[in-house]
Chains A and B, each alone.
Chain A
Amino acid sequence: DAGVTQSPTHLIKTRGQHVTLRCSPISGHKSVSWYQQVLGQGPQFIFQYYEKEERGRGNFPDRFSARQFPNYSSELNVNALLLGDSALYLCASSSQYEQYFGPGTRLTVT
């Protein structure tokens, strides 16, 4: 069975631009969560979506938004990019309690 997939793998953007990251969960999983991992730190929770509804939001500015589609895939959008947004963005899917992570999208903001 395919695991969590994310695209693109790498992305380079300029300050002020916006970016869209995509995630497909494990088949049968209805919940998707997004995390930001800055180099040298553990992942930080951004959002969780379940059945297309936002279930939780971490301490991130309104420049960060997300949505979930009827097929349970998800997009993370970040507007007005800052240098500090450079990080590995991880998507995790879950059916109940355990969250399984994808390989991440490495975003570099220059």
Chain B
Amino acid sequence: GQQLNQSPQSMFIQEGEDVSMNCTSSSIFNTWLWYKQDPGEGPVLLIALYKAGELTSNGRLTAQFGITRKDSFLNISASIPSDVGIYFCAGQLAEKLTFGTGTRLTIIP
């Protein structure tokens, strides 16, 4: 099935560093969402974006909905150990979410 292009595929960072990941698509979406998934659990919604150009923050997380409606990015500032996990972007059109390939974030001691 279709998956959005998400990069980087994995990141190895030290605690306290900032993180940036992005997601691109060949299709236009009405809504972009960012989820975090821990092993063996379901995705947890982090941020939802509804308008092209919109910039939204949730604590240390900031996400933007691209002007073309075909891309989005997520930034995490001052990473902490509980940020470890897999981050997925998802574009929404009507009833369907199309997910990205995921970015695995690892924090190096």
Contacts and interface: CB of A to CB of B under 8 A. Distances in A.
- Does B bind A? yes
Interface stretch (B55-63, B66-74, B87-95): B87-95
A42 interface: yes
What's the interface size class on B, roughly? 20 to 34
A19 B44 CA distance: 26
Nearest to A59: B1
Contacts of A97: 31, 48, 50, 92
B1 A58 contact: yes
A20 to B, nearest CB: 19
The prevalent SS among residues of B at the interface is strand
A101 B95 contact: no
Interface string A61-100: 0000000000000000000000000000010100001111
Nearest to B35: A101
Nearest to A35: B97
A43 B48 contact: no
Given A59-B1, A97-B31, A48 B42 contact: no
A58 B1 CA distance: 9
B2 to A, nearest CB: 8
A58 B42 CA distance: 19
A48 B96 CA distance: 8
Interface of A: 4, 31, 33, 35, 41-45, 48, 50, 55-56, 58-59, 90, 92, 97-104, 106
13 contacts: A42-B99, A42-B100, A42-B102, A43-B97, A43-B99, A50-B95, A90-B43, A97-B50, A98-B33, A98-B48, A100-B45, A103-B40, A104-B42
Given A56-B94, A97-B48, 6 more contacts: A41-B102, A42-B4, A45-B98, A55-B95, A90-B42, A99-B92
